């Protein structure tokens, strides 16, 4: 029963969401939704990219992959994928 209170409490309104790829290093954002194909989306969700999750952008190289911190782990995310994660 725990989950009823805590899930999606931080959800961003749809209008305010923008892709993760727009973010700058050091920025803290909240996941709004993950778009894209099933496979990629499922893998992101598995790693904690669910609506309401907090992520910190650690490094954002120009055109290279992103490094973000989510739930105590650092993840490298390809450019293409970073367009598909909407945050607020």
Partner 1 sequence: MDKAITIALAGNPNAGKSTVFNNMTGARQHVGNYPGVTVERKEGGCTHNGFDVKVVDLPGTYSLTAYSIEEVIARKFLIEEQPDVVVDIIDASNLERNLYLTVQLIELGVPLVLAFNMSDVAAAQGHQFDLEKLSALLGVPIIPTTGHKNKGTAELLDAAIEVAQQTKGTNPEMVRYGQEIEQAIANVVDKLEKSNKLSYSRNRWIALKLLEGDDDVASRHLSAELRPVVEQQITEVEHKLDEALPTATASHRYGLISGVCTQCVRSTIERRHSISDAIDLVATNRFLGIPVFMGLMYLVFWLTFTVGAPLMDLLDGSFGWLAGVVDGWWAPGAESALRSLLVDGIIGGVGGVVIFLPNILLLFLAIAILEDSGYMARAAFIMDRLMHKIGLHGKSFIPMLIGFGCSVPAIMATRTLDNRRDRLVTMMVVPLMSCGARLPIYALIIPAFFPGAWHAPLLWIIYVIGIVLAILSAKLLRSTVLKGESVPFLMELPPYRMPTLKGIFIHMWGRGWLYLKKAGTIILGISILLWVMTSYPKKTEFQRDYDAEIAALQTSATTELQEEGLAEIENARMAETLSYTVAGRIGHALEPVIKPMGFDWRIGTAMIGAFAAKEVFVAQMGIVFSVGEADEDSDDLRDKLKDNYTPLIGFAIMMFSLISAPCMATIAITKRESNSWMWALFQLAGLTVLAWVVTTLIYQVGLLFGLGVV
Q: Which residues bind partner 1 (CB under 8 A)?
A: 1-8, 33-34, 38-48, 50-53, 58-59, 61-65, 67, 69-81, 84
For partner 1, give the closer residue by CB, 19 or 69. Answer: 69
Do the Cβ atoms of 20 and 85 come closer than 8 Å?
Answer: yes
Do the Cβ atoms of 85 and 34 come closer than 8 Å?
Answer: yes
CA angle at 83 for the pair 6 and 10, rounded to the nearest 5°:
15
**Beta carbon of residue 18, minimum distance to partner 1 (angstroms, whole number):** 18
**Helix/strand number for the chain, H first, E second:** 3, 6
Q: CA-CA distance, 51 to 45, in Å (whole number)?
A: 9
**Beta carbon of residue 25, minimum distance to partner 1 (angstroms, whole number):** 10
**Beta carbon of residue 4, minimum distance to partner 1 (angstroms, whole number):** 7
For partner 1, give the closer residue by CB, 18 or 43. Answer: 43
């Amino acid at each position: 029963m725990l989950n009823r209170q805590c899930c999606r409490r931080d959800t961003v309104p749809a209008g305010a969401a923008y892709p993760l790829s727009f973010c700058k290093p050091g920025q803290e954002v909240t996941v709004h939704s993950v778009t894209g194909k099933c496979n990629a989306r499922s893998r992101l969700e598995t790693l904690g990219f669910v609506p309401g999750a907090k992520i910190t952008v650690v490094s954002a190289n120009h055109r290279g992959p992103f490094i973000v911190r989510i739930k105590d782990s650092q993840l490298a995310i390809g450019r293409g994928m970073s367009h598909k994660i909407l945050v607020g």
